[in-house]
Amino acid sequence: MAIGVIDEARENHDIHIPNDISVVGFDGITSSAWQSYQITTIKQPVEKLVKAAVEMLLEHIENPDSPPEARVLTGALIKGNSVRRP
């Protein structure tokens, strides 16, 4: 999504990233580090997310009457050049 926003801003609206607008991604995909983008992004802990989802699903299958559970997992900020510095 962030790459699409940057492409649209640059190509069709003459908006300069990050001087005119800052863009932050939320997935940490490899292409966010490409030279032409260098997107500041939040890298999600995908392996931990999958493990937690499987654990929660198995728990619910074994105990269908158990209350809903919420877990909070922390991502990592990957600094790029798509955010204007103060």
Q: Classify residue 41 as exposed, middle or buried by CB count within 10 Å of its CB (0-12, 13-18, 19+).
A: buried
Structure confidence at residue 29 as a pLDDT band (50, 70, 90): confident
Nearest to 28 by CA among 39, 12, 16: 39
Structure confidence at residue 33 as a pLDDT band (50, 70, 90): confident
Measured between its terminal Cα atoms, the distance across the chain in Å is 24
pLDDT surpasses 90 at 40: yes
Domain boundaries, the chain: 2-78
The pLDDT of residue 54 is 97
Residue 84 DSSP SS3: coil
Task: Output the pTM of the full model.
Answer: 0.75
